[in-house]
Structure 1
Amino acid sequence: MSSLIPAVMVPAFIPSPSQGVWHVFGLPIRAYALCILAGIFVGYWLGRRRWVARGGSAPVLADIMFWAIPFGLVGARIYHVVTDAELYFGEGRHPIDALKIWHGGLGIWGAVGFGALGAWIACRRAKVPFLAVADAMAPGIALAQVFGRFGNYFNQELFGRPTTKPWGLEISPEHRPAGYADFATFHPTFLYEAVWNLGVVALVILVDRRYKLGHGRAFFLYVAGYTAGRAWIENMRIDTVNHFLGLRLNVWTALILFVLSVAAFIISAKRHPGQEDISTGPAAGKPTPTEQPTDAEQAVDEAPKVDADEETPDVSPAESSTEAPKVEVKNGSESDGARD
């Protein structure tokens, strides 16, 4: 007797999230914000481990990140608003929407650029080598981007061209761009970039472990690795953006930064081989060593100190008097002492 086993239909695509906002006690908890916060946390965690492993002080790095993270968030939003100004300014637009960061719209270029500016200011104040901080944080930045890209998934944004591949991403009709209403599944460019960034994390860590990258080379390697992938992934996207000479603006940005980062890597390798020593001085949470004292200064310091408050012992006149020097008598004459 044979039995019938009903076939289970497995959808050949990645489903969209059922929701991206949850309300807790009347407050909206947005998946996009949670992904950004998770990225910041894991990125800092990885960077902190690398910084401490090189001899740096964890509290010193925390103080630097206190500057870098707010700068990065503000810069990410500024870059997005400036490069997509038509979404917020002009007829029928609402400029106040430029402040609604929870709706999405953070540019990684602005995040890294402004974040680096904030870190540089903090490093100048603390007298810590900025490029050493950048090297320690480089793979952590890429790891933070992995988590951040899943915020795009929950917002159903920044996807690629239509596709019938099994890994195609289902997009709800209200989120499909004009001209694509009849297509249901699209390239999950958020996932492509997340996987690529995981590769960048591994690349920077492995190369750094092998060659001890310093003076910014780990950071330059991260930029080169990320932009190489971003250029082709960006070309797959169909969201409305500005173009320049037939290419999306972000493609041009990726190409230019790739060239600059490779050049910076080569120049740094030639001029500053090896790594900075951050196990001493301010980077390690220790004061800057002072100059060695001269021999005369050291002699003065080592001389016994006399307390002015101590009483001078009493000395009797008899004890304090000294014998007059005796002078040899010649020709029967004496002298009581040397003559003036």
Structure 2
Amino acid sequence: MYPPVDPVIVEVGPLALRWYGVLMVTAIFTGAWVASRYIKRQGDNPDNLWDMLVWVLVPGFLGARLYYVFVQSPRGTDGLGRYLEHPIEILQFWRGGIHIFGAFIAGSAALWLYTRWHKLPPLRYLDAIALGLPLAQAIGRWGNFINQELYGPPTTLPWGLRIDAQHRLSPYSNLQQYPDSVRFQPLFLYESLWNFIGFGLIFWLSRRFKKQLQPGDILLMYLIWYPLGRFWIEFLRTDSWFFSGTPFNVVHILCAAAILSGAIGLYWRHGRKPAAG
């Protein structure tokens, strides 16, 4: 696959413009634009979405980073011990290391509080975010490519990813056993493609069945689609802690819970037969 890309676009003294940051900002504003258009189609003022953005993003990024550090910390030199020894690095999310489940939990709580405080319909705004989120994730995942993270085990597939020695986790950091010619599964690419497809599918459903959909339905569709793909990708992760003697980790549990919640919610709303009169 493509060779590694320099993560720094331009550097002036202590300041550096990084691809990771550019991609994150692009992803956020693209997803927010999609969400604001949905709010406008629902008859609300799209400025409400932009006004709440910072109040959702800050808790979302904080939750994403804290989840990564304390739950999803990679093994070896990037483990939890490193962050405890150098706590300032916990805030350096631009180096990579954020987790969507932490962002979703903290960001959703912040959005709910914001909408309740400003007397806005929370489910409508959660739907808006859920509509734009897959597209934002699909774009943002390319930051993992730049930082040489979110890769899987070695592969001989033609789209295998080159990972430099300093970015490899054990045992793949052993260059005698895994020389520089070894290529790895590009999990970031699989997830990015899954999210692009998910965005297209959910967007189409939101327009095709807009008269039948209830507030919160788009959120439920997202809770099925994204975790479904993430559940299978997790089996290939090289940077996760797995339960002893099993191929499962905490993310598998969260994904299964989200999928079941989304499926049960949609069935409860649309799949039950009306009671006989």
TM normalised by structure 2 equals 0.86
Aligned to 2:239: 239
* Aligned pairs for 1:299-318 within 5 A: none
Aligned to 2:42: 54
Could you tell me whether the CA contact under 8 Å between 1:88 and 1:98 is conserved in 2? no
State the Cα RMSD in Å. Answer: 2.1
- Alpha-carbon offset, residue 245 of structure 1: 6.4
Taking a change above 3 Å as real, the CA distance of residues 268 and 186 of structure 1, as seen in their structure-2 partners, is: same
User: Residue 64 of structure 2: which of 76, 92, 117 is its match?
Assistant: 76
- Alpha-carbon offset, residue 92 of structure 1: 8.4
Between structures 1 and 2, the one with greater helix share? 2
Aligned to 1:222: 222
Could you tell me whether the CA contact under 8 Å between 2:240 and 2:249 is conserved in 1? no
Taking a change above 3 Å as real, the CA distance of residues 55 and 148 of structure 1, as seen in their structure-2 partners, is: same
- Alpha-carbon offset, residue 114 of structure 1: 1.0
Gaps of 5+ in 2: 273-277
> For 1:257-312, what per-residue CA distance to the aligned partner results, in whole angstroms no more than 9, with x for missing partners?
111221122234479xxxxxxxxxxxxxxxxxxxxxxxxxxxxxxxxxxxxxxxxx
Report the count of equivalent residues: 258
CA distance in 2, matches of 1:89, 1:157: 19
Aligned to 2:151: 159
CA distance in 2, matches of 1:128, 1:254: 29
CA distance in 2, matches of 1:45, 1:226: 20
Aligned to 1:36: 24
> Would you say 1:123 and 2:115 are equivalent positions?
yes
> Would you say 1:254 and 2:255 are equivalent positions?
yes
User: Residue 136 of structure 2: which of 144, 168, 171 is its match?
Assistant: 144
CA distance in 2, matches of 1:91, 1:226: 29
Could you tell me whether the CA contact under 8 Å between 2:124 and 2:215 is conserved in 1? yes
Could you tell me whether the CA contact under 8 Å between 2:187 and 2:233 is conserved in 1? yes
> For 1:74-107, what per-residue CA distance to the aligned partner results, in whole angstroms no more than 9, with x for missing partners?
1111211220468233798433322221221111
The AA in structure 1 aligned to 2:87 is: P
Taking a change above 3 Å as real, the CA distance of residues 91 and 253 of structure 1, as seen in their structure-2 partners, is: closer
- Alpha-carbon offset, residue 244 of structure 1: 6.0
CA distance in 2, matches of 1:156, 1:60: 37
Name the SS for the 1:170 alignment partner: coil
The AA in structure 2 aligned to 1:146 is: A
Please identify runs of 4+ aligned residues in structure 1 that moved more than 4 A.
Answer: none
Aligned to 1:302: none
Taking a change above 3 Å as real, the CA distance of residues 123 and 91 of structure 1, as seen in their structure-2 partners, is: closer
CA distance in 1, matches of 2:257, 2:244: 13
> Would you say 1:21 and 2:8 are equivalent positions?
yes
User: Residue 192 of structure 1: which of 172, 190, 193 is its match?
Assistant: 190
CA distance in 2, matches of 1:215, 1:158: 34
- Alpha-carbon offset, residue 124 of structure 1: 0.6
Aligned to 1:209: 207
Name the SS for the 1:265 alignment partner: helix
Taking a change above 3 Å as real, the CA distance of residues 238 and 46 of structure 1, as seen in their structure-2 partners, is: same
Could you tell me whether the CA contact under 8 Å between 1:50 and 1:136 is conserved in 2? yes
- Alpha-carbon offset, residue 139 of structure 1: 2.1
> For 1:231-271, what per-residue CA distance to the aligned partner results, in whole angstroms no more than 9, with x for missing partners?
11111121243436611222222122111221122234479
The AA in structure 2 aligned to 1:218 is: I
Aligned to 2:275: none
- Alpha-carbon offset, residue 42 of structure 1: 0.3
Taking a change above 3 Å as real, the CA distance of residues 43 and 25 of structure 1, as seen in their structure-2 partners, is: same
The AA in structure 1 aligned to 2:113 is: I
CA distance in 1, matches of 2:113, 2:127: 16
CA distance in 2, matches of 1:217, 1:136: 11
Percent identity, aligned pairs only, is: 34
Name the SS for the 1:48 alignment partner: helix
CA distance in 2, matches of 1:80, 1:91: 11
Could you tell me whether the CA contact under 8 Å between 1:215 and 1:268 is conserved in 2? no
Name the SS for the 1:15 alignment partner: coil
Aligned to 1:66: 54
CA distance in 1, matches of 2:62, 2:134: 18
The AA in structure 1 aligned to 2:234 is: E
Taking a change above 3 Å as real, the CA distance of residues 126 and 171 of structure 1, as seen in their structure-2 partners, is: same
CA distance in 1, matches of 2:103, 2:152: 23
Could you tell me whether the CA contact under 8 Å between 2:23 and 2:139 is conserved in 1? yes
